[in-house]
Structure 1
């Protein structure tokens, strides 16, 4: 059997409570858990501040060598008494002081007065506690009573939780505020009040066990009204230096955020703070603040009939230049959410998309540079000051704050870190005013850590973070950049892609150099093939970069620049992958003596190099010499050549290809652009078919391509996850992507459609739905004939 030391109580309190506001938060929640319809009152009754007490004590010690009387010292202390302290508290303080007959006694008396007279009282008019309740619940650390009530609510599917707290240790928060606790409580019908007093210092004995510390309730005074009920928690021997300025600041910055400030003030749970008899204002967030936002994203996540749905609405209202207001709504279903939030091979299971439960959020963005330039008076300044006061993205459970989300030093969505890595509009945490709403019954897996330092790390917690982060960084951020591109001069920045290409080319050169040192004589010819392939890629990449420099001059050619950049990166990546795989294969040849083993590994190397050679040859029409030249060619031959180049990739992903090609179809177009369209369709198909294969063991990836005449038409269809009806047009928008963060670019289909239109054709997602998935899988590319 475990034995618990008395100091464990102090350790629990120290671990649980990291700040004064969390201590108040725990005590306030207890009041509402007691079903207090009148809310909770917090009353400060401070006669002398801690700092003045220290100064007065120093003055008393110095008076030993001076000719100062006790009366003079007591009078000087009384002169420092705070205005508004209660008569009872003042009388208590003075009585202690006047009982002293020497300076030493005065020091002791002053310490005793400081402990007794100054207090913080948290009271409610809830159902209160009987003596049995005090013994069996309040004095039982980790009591299961509230947890049992919450569990019943969860099992029965109730909309609201019966309790905000359930761990049974929140009562220890009082020790953060002071060392002495007095609980006065009663239920309706009780004749007397029930009183419990605790001195937390008693638990600081190193050799004592918890059962050795005597703590027991007693019967208090008789009640004047037996029908009354409620609880008063009085904390004395205060720990902090409490002043009016400090409490006012807490009201403005802390108490105003304890309950949801977005809710109408009349509907918010009532919390009243009184400083020495004067009630202080707890500010409510004005609706004019969120109405003045420059952009926002509002979202709801729901599980309907066992299927998750994320609906987000983005509004871009004022980016600082002339543009019409833009609003865009998007609903994402299970297949989209699996990819966007989890991706391929991620640690989070798909089940978390269901078990996370329903929640909602609204996040308002402000351009702080614009706010800093507004007039120093009037409405502009008011909005700026309000945004400073309420900045941050807060989280509320059943209307009450979840700490520390939204604190100034807390970057729970990693917005600041991510903002440093991207260009464009600043999306750091100080730009936002927002909230995320969860509940205990709808989100049972989103549970606070015991120390109130955020939610426990669970798959559901990660899904919540990813949804909110995605809604800000991708939904809101991309829409803002789209408005900027449409209505303000902008350029597509490919510097990062070019740097990445150069890194991959360097990596490939290093790999070839190492191949020389480990390859036996029998494999020298394969190394020469690798070098030749690398030279071809270098020529191709240099030509592509030269083309990028040319097309930067015109907006029409910016699209081409992006397409060339992306394709160069794909080729460079494939070359680096193949050479590095080959290097690993040849490394295994060190010390090998069997010619058969050498031949086997060299065979692997040759297959890899042949694959890369095909890719480079297929993409050669995109070079400077062929990029813009329209020519008449056979569409079926181009399709076969392109698909052959992916033979190795299809084999790795177990993809079966069915071709139905009309050999009589000839078109007049820029061959490189048609290749680019096919490449983007293939790339997307591989991703979405992989997504489905990971989740469905019986899935067999399949790509179907048909070419028909009159007019020349290419139909591309796969059996991957498909596209939902609401996203049929969105997938062609620049930077819109439903892939996971590692693969999310959102340019492929935008460039493919643009290439089709440039050649006088069109690229659409067919209205036909797949009978198995209920989603769209078929792309239709229409092109002009070869007789034009």
Structure 2
């Protein structure tokens, strides 16, 4: 049977309550859980400031005039403190008969009469409650009631807290605790006193520390109920300035500042009987936002749906107010939030529960005077004061989300790697609302420092990052592209290509060291493929640097960047797969296994070689050359270049091409790029469905007809939601997970079609099985056919 040492309680309290504001939060929350009728009061009654106390103690040791010392101490007592505390402090000092006793009595009075009191007018506690609940650390009564509410499907949780450890918050603030409480049915005040210093005895066991409630004086009125937590022997130097700062920032954000001031839970702060203002946030600052996103995450018929609304109000250049709505059903959420090989199961998309959020973005340099706030400087200060995206559960703050040093949505980290609009956390005022009953899997860590790391917490973070980091940022850049000249930044793509090249080189070097003679031909072929690719990538980078900064050329360069990155990835993957396979070969069975393996390696190497060579017509210098070529042959070549990939992913490709060549006059590289992009996207989405449906048979169908030249491209994957039919062609729009999210491919593909006077559309006919859109149609003008 375990026994617990007394000091374990102190260790537990110091670990679980990590800051003063957390301590206040826990004690205040207990007041609301007690069904307080008039909110919670927090009263600082500081008779003698700590600085004055230390100064007087130093003087006592060197001054022998006892009467003068007593008079000085009394003159230093705050006249604003409560009359009773001031009177009792003075009486204690009067008992001194020597400077030595004065020093001791001063210390005793300082510890006893400087207090912090947290009081409520709730249900109160009986003597039995104090014994059976308050003195039981980790009591289960509230947790049982919360779990019962969850089982019943109640809309609200009966309690904010349920772990039974909030009472340890008091030891964070002071060494002594006095509880004064009573229920309506009680006739007397029930008392409990705890001296936490007694728990420091390293040899004492917990059951050896005597702590017992007792009956006190009669209640002030027969129907009175409530609780006062009185903390003394304070551990911190509490001053009026510090309390005001705490009220200005921490207490102001303890409950939801977006809520109407009249509906917010009442928390009153007092310094020596003077009420300290806890500010509320004016809606005027929200109205001054330059852009914003609001989102609703719902579980409808056990299926999640995310709806986001974006607004661009004033981005710093001439543009109309732009609005956009994005709706993602479960198929798109699985792709954007979890992806093909995500770290969590799809079920977390539903078990996370419904929540809402809003984030208001500000260009701080463009903030101007607001009548209800003040001049530009005042407005900036208000924006800075309320900045951060806060998390609230049942109207109360979840720490530490939204703190100055907390970048929980990684906005600052992402901003450092971006040009153009940088969405720093200090530029936002926002909130996320969850609840205990609607989001039972989003639970706090025991130390109150954030949510526990669960699959549901992962979903919450990824959805918020997707909506705020990616979609709002992309929406703003899209507006800028429409109304202001904007360059496409390829630095990220170029950096990825260089890393992939390095990976391939490293793998090939290791391959050469461990490959037997019969495999040298394949390795040399792979090395030659790497050389050809490196040469092309080098030329592409040089050409990118030379091209003038015009919109058309920027788009072309983005296309080249995407294609180079795709092939670089294939090259690195093939090289590393070869290295892994060879490294795993052991024993005397190497020759037979090598023959089979090298046949596979050579096939993959040839495929990658085809992918490199097909890039040549995609080069910036070559894409603008119009030529006559067979479009059906170009489709076959593109499909053959992906043959190994299709085999690897078990994708069946059906071609419905004309028996006679369909010759067109066009820029071959641009049309190949359209085909390549459609194949690349299709492979990804087919993988998504295959991963989730083991019996699924992936298919791609490509058809071609004349009069005018029209290519149809269709797969039987997840499809695209009808409401996103046009969104997918916008620059930077992507529903892939954050590791693969680019959002340029279809934009460039449509641009290539329009360059030829043609169109690239997503057919509006819904697939009867999925209810979504699956068929792309590339149509060239009739004059393009030769």
Q: Which bracket does the TM-score occupy, shorter chain normalised? A: over 0.9
SS of the residue corresponding to residue 627 of structure 1 reads coil
Q: Distance in 2 between matches of 1:224 and 1:534?
A: 88
SS of the residue corresponding to residue 306 of structure 2 reads strand
The 8 Å contact of residues 195 and 217 in structure 1, kept in 2 or not, is answered as: yes
Q: Distance in 2 between matches of 1:273 and 1:255?
A: 9
Q: Distance in 2 between matches of 1:317 and 1:408?
A: 26
- For residues 686-765 of structure 1, the aligned pairs below 5 Å read 686-765=683-762
Q: Which residue of 2 aligns with 1:58?
A: 58
Q: Which residue of 2 aligns with 1:379?
A: 375
Q: CA RMSD in A?
A: 2.2
Q: Distance in 1 between matches of 2:14 and 2:495?
A: 50
Change (3 A) 1:370 1:617: same
SS of the residue corresponding to residue 61 of structure 2 reads helix
User: Are positions 1:613 and 2:604 aligned together?
Assistant: no
**Which of 480, 488, 493 is residue 492 of structure 1 equivalent to?**
488
**Which of 438, 442, 447 is residue 446 of structure 1 equivalent to?**
442
Q: Distance in 2 between matches of 1:630 and 1:542?
A: 24
Q: Which residue of 2 aligns with 1:348?
A: 344
Q: Which residue of 2 aligns with 1:205?
A: 201
Report the more deviating stretch, 328-337 or 208-217.
Answer: 208-217
SS of the residue corresponding to residue 62 of structure 1 reads coil
The 8 Å contact of residues 16 and 450 in structure 1, kept in 2 or not, is answered as: yes
SS of the residue corresponding to residue 38 of structure 2 reads coil
Change (3 A) 1:406 1:515: closer
* Aligned-pair CA distance for 1:537: 2.7
* Aligned-pair CA distance for 1:519: 4.7
Q: Distance in 2 between matches of 1:539 and 1:105?
A: 90
Q: Distance in 1 between matches of 2:7 and 2:28?
A: 25
Q: Distance in 2 between matches of 1:182 and 1:525?
A: 84
* Aligned-pair CA distance for 1:502: 3.8
Q: Distance in 2 between matches of 1:473 and 1:82?
A: 51
Change (3 A) 1:457 1:533: closer
The 8 Å contact of residues 474 and 732 in structure 2, kept in 1 or not, is answered as: yes
Q: Which residue of 1 aligns with 2:335?
A: 339
The 8 Å contact of residues 111 and 233 in structure 2, kept in 1 or not, is answered as: yes
Q: Distance in 1 between matches of 2:205 and 2:511?
A: 70
Q: Distance in 2 between matches of 1:451 and 1:45?
A: 28
User: Are positions 1:241 and 2:237 aligned together?
Assistant: yes
Q: Which residue of 1 aligns with 2:565?
A: 569
* Aligned-pair CA distance for 1:467: 1.0
Q: Distance in 2 between matches of 1:529 and 1:281?
A: 76
- For residues 248-397 of structure 1, the aligned pairs below 5 Å read 248-371=244-367, 378-397=374-393
Count residues in correspondence: 783
SS of the residue corresponding to residue 356 of structure 2 reads strand
Gaps of 5+ in 1: none
Q: Which residue of 2 aligns with 1:26?
A: 26
Q: Which residue of 1 aligns with 2:415?
A: 419
SS of the residue corresponding to residue 62 of structure 2 reads helix
The 8 Å contact of residues 543 and 624 in structure 1, kept in 2 or not, is answered as: no
Q: Distance in 2 between matches of 1:592 and 1:368?
A: 70
* Aligned-pair CA distance for 1:357: 0.4
* Aligned-pair CA distance for 1:634: 2.5
Change (3 A) 1:765 1:115: same
Q: Which residue of 2 aligns with 1:636?
A: 632
Q: Compute the TM-score of the two structures, normalised by the length of structure 1.
A: 0.95
SS of the residue corresponding to residue 425 of structure 1 reads coil
* Aligned-pair CA distance for 1:131: 1.2
Q: Distance in 2 between matches of 1:384 and 1:408?
A: 16
**Which of 443, 447, 458 is residue 462 of structure 1 equivalent to?**
458
* Aligned-pair CA distance for 1:585: 5.0
Change (3 A) 1:771 1:4: same
The 8 Å contact of residues 622 and 673 in structure 1, kept in 2 or not, is answered as: yes
Q: Which residue of 2 aligns with 1:669?
A: 666
Change (3 A) 1:535 1:257: closer
Gaps of 5+ in 2: none
* Aligned-pair CA distance for 1:235: 1.2
Q: Distance in 2 between matches of 1:198 and 1:534?
A: 74
SS of the residue corresponding to residue 463 of structure 2 reads helix
Q: Distance in 2 between matches of 1:24 and 1:594?
A: 69
Change (3 A) 1:30 1:591: closer
The 8 Å contact of residues 634 and 663 in structure 1, kept in 2 or not, is answered as: no
Q: Compute the TM-score of the two structures, normalised by the length of structure 2.
A: 0.96
Q: Distance in 2 between matches of 1:206 and 1:590?
A: 59
The 8 Å contact of residues 6 and 205 in structure 2, kept in 1 or not, is answered as: yes
* Aligned-pair CA distance for 1:633: 2.7
* Aligned-pair CA distance for 1:626: 4.2
Q: Distance in 2 between matches of 1:30 and 1:503?
A: 54
SS of the residue corresponding to residue 331 of structure 1 reads strand
Q: Which residue of 2 aligns with 1:138?
A: 134
